[in-house]
Structure 1
Amino acid sequence: MNNKVVLAFSGGLDTSFCVKYLKEEKGLEVYSAIANTGGFSDVELGEIEKGARSLGVTDHVTLDITGLYYRNCIRYMVYGNVLKNNTYPLSVSSERIFQAMAIVDYARKIGARYIAHGSTGAGNDQIRFDLTFQIMAPEIEILTPIRDLTLSRNEEIEYLKKRGVNKDWTKMAYSINKGIWGTSVGGKETLTSDQALPDDAYPSRLKKEGSEEMILSFEKGELKSVNGESSDNPVDAIRKVESLGASYAIGRDIHVGDTIIGIKGRVGFEAAAPLMIIKAHHLLEKHTLTKWQLYWKEQLGNWYGMLLHEAQYLEPVMRDIEAFLEHSQANVSGDVILKLHPYRFELIGIRSPHDLMRSGFGDYGEVNKEWDGNDVKGFTKLMSNYLKIFNKVNGFDVETGVNA
């Protein structure tokens, strides 16, 4: 009988437990696969593979989907300036669907009967994995040991200890998920509403004092160079920004939001590159797009982020929104100057051949060049007509602020 199971493996506590449980309790052949979205170095990936094999997997593979993830998702999140609740750049929630699709592809290649993941029953990831698996491979059965057994992290640790698994369990006090678009950090503090994560829970440490300028150069909405150093691969440019930002410990925050399952959730994250790139891109758009382009981009960007967060990437409307977002970037080219400080950054300004402030029509608050006072008088008279009519018919009480 086919007893192959492909486990979405990260090397953390939950997936380590899954290997032992599926192998020893269920008698399955466990094939572990890590779908790397750019968060791991070659050394780290080697350690993860070593850990998987020491746990007794039949085989282990690394599926590098960083380029695919950037091309089909990250760039649209930049185009849309996507920040969930004006805070979170969807560091983990955006990558899960791509990881799930990669796992499905691998499971089909080896003819696996089952797919497994280590998500709990209290978070969003279970929905993201399950939904994608069900849509892409309805014939493959899904196994979820952590969710089904409702285990605490301490119970998982004790289970592994009894089976001779020796690790530095103190490092597993926090659930950490790394990707090119940021790192999420969950722990006992994020289960509360009033406690902050300790400094050592975050992956980066403050290495620089003082400040320095950084120039991000965009072409049609895509980051193409950092401090004048061009790259044909936008992923390399993102890594450069992350390295510079991480040295100042930039990008730390805690996101509070509504989960797919209906409860409030709280998670820490560190995402220097996403926050700086999105904010820089947005500033460049303010200078190069019309007010209605900016308005509709904000609406559709919010919808894109919300649907992506709630595992709706495969909904066809997402392709429609992507088409709009990409089309809107035709003139979003130029340099953005930022200043980096410990734990924060500021936007200084932009230089662009498409800068609408350079139109010569006027200098805001100073000089009007293409109109005179009579034009303004006529314009405001016509603009006020409909409100004159409404208030003459209905009246307006200045004291109460309502129509009579």
Structure 2
Amino acid sequence: MKKLVIAYSGGLDTSYCAVSLSKQGYEVHAVSVNTGGFTANEIKNIETNAYKMGVSTYKNIEAVSSFYKKVVKYLIYGNVLKNNTYPLSVSAERIVQAIEIVNYAKKIDAKYIAHGSTGAGNDQVRFDMIFQTLAPEIEIITPIRDQKLTREEEIEYLKQHGIDMSWEKAKYSVNKGLWGTSVGGAETLTSHQPLPEEAFPSQLIQKDNKKVTLTFNKGELEAIDGNLNKPEVNIEILNNMASAYAIGRDLHVGDTIVGIKGRVGFEAAAALIIIKAHHLLEKHTLTKWQMQHKDYLSNYYGMHLHEGQYLDPVMRDMEAFLKSSQESVSGDVTVTLKPYHFTLDGVKSSHDLMQSKFGSYGEMNLGWTADEA
């Protein structure tokens, strides 16, 4: 039997793929990759549904730590915001998910790999590029894209094969992960309509301002209010804390890989707070030339990542620069959480270059003479 691994989310598209490929004689092995978007109950439900679709095996790969180490860490180092707005929440996840899936396919010696992407989005490019680069010998199968199927055609096919589940499309499409949540709906298909309050998964709960101290060590978030944890754990803690204030909402407009404009809502409380706090700490601890060169290299890094170019060697070169730039980026940043927004109050760092012993900006100097100036 032909062994095939499918990137399985449990949604309509991947469910159609699982059933149709099983009927075509493939031995289908379903794989989901958790980069921070699934709870234990959700993973269990995905597994249950996968077996209903006729797969031979199901496996969930926990990749939150891998996602942080491979990608998120460098997005923080670079203060990466696509078009000065979007922290690359979902696009960054897809890269790691694709790597984990293709590695699993090679591990079980699968000859085929499938995904449920359509022909209109970015994910098809990201998946295909990773799969083709890491395993050119494995054939890629994309039923939805190749057959140009409509949602109604997929549902009808599943009903014909005894899969009569509720596929009612939610009003808003929500994709959650460690580095943020994307939100799509009818409004994001227009250029003028905002997303309504109810579209965002986190609603305003806390109304009293709260001060939080973020401790960075060489660019990584190592503690919140003095409590040490792994950086990826701190991201989740901060996100839960800040989401209660409905912080981090925005709409991103950008260019897709396939050449069309796209618009998506997102909610990324922790990502935006960490990036802004980290950037403030860098302003105090890096030289102006480090800041200048970091800015454009970080922009290149984010664009290459978005475009699916993660495996290009130039990405390792840029990561080496970004890591080197963080040697002195250590200290505390105080943030105040408020309803719908936050403020950066200040920093404390032993590497602070704004030292009063040299002089104060616009005031008396103590470190040089007029001739030296």
One-letter amino acid of the counterpart of residue 45, structure 1: I
Deviations 1:206-228 (A, max 9, x none): 22113211111000000000111
Determine helix, strand or coil for the equivalent of 1:240.
Answer: helix
- In structure 1, C-alpha distance between the alignment counterparts of 2:319 and 2:300, rounded to whole Å: 11
1:37 aligns with 2:35: yes
Q: Determine which of 96, 99, 110 is the counterpart of 1:98.
A: 96
Deviations 1:158-212 (A, max 9, x none): 4445544454444544333222111222232222111222333322222211321
Which one has a bigger Cα radius of gyration? 1
Displacement of 1:294: 0.4
Q: Determine which of 108, 111, 134 is the counterpart of 2:109.
A: 111
Structure 1, gaps ≥5 residues long? 377-404
2:81 corresponds to: 83
1:215 aligns with 2:234: no
Query: Equivalent pairs: percent with the same residue?
Result: 58
Displacement of 1:143: 0.9
1:305 corresponds to: 302
Deviations 1:240-296 (A, max 9, x none): 111111111211111111111111111121111111111110000000000000001
2:68 corresponds to: 70
1:133 corresponds to: 131
4+ residue runs over 4 A deviation: 161-164, 372-376
One-letter amino acid of the counterpart of residue 270, structure 2: A
Classify 1:133/1:299 alpha carbon distance in 2 versus 1 (closer, same or farther; 3 Å).
same
2:359 corresponds to: 362
Q: TM-score, normalised by structure 2?
A: 0.95
Query: What CA RMSD, in Å, does the superposition of the two structures yield over aligned residues?
Result: 1.8
Alignment of 1:157-306 (within 5 A): 157-170=155-168, 172-231=170-229, 233-306=230-303
Q: Determine which of 289, 299, 316 is the counterpart of 1:319.
A: 316
> Is 216-225 or 367-376 further displaced after alignment?
367-376
- In structure 2, C-alpha distance between the alignment counterparts of 1:176 and 1:157, rounded to whole Å: 20
Q: Is the 8 A contact 1:37 1:69 kept in 2?
A: yes
**Size of the alignment, in residue pairs?**
373
Deviations 1:346-403 (A, max 9, x none): 1111111111112511111232222455555xxxxxxxxxxxxxxxxxxxxxxxxxxx
> Is 322-331 or 357-366 further displaced after alignment?
357-366
1:9 aligns with 2:33: no
Determine helix, strand or coil for the equivalent of 1:362.
Answer: coil
1:383 corresponds to: none
- In structure 1, C-alpha distance between the alignment counterparts of 2:148 and 2:363, rounded to whole Å: 65
One-letter amino acid of the counterpart of residue 76, structure 1: Y
One-letter amino acid of the counterpart of residue 78, structure 1: I
1:400 corresponds to: none
1:344 aligns with 2:341: yes
Q: TM-score, normalised by structure 1?
A: 0.88
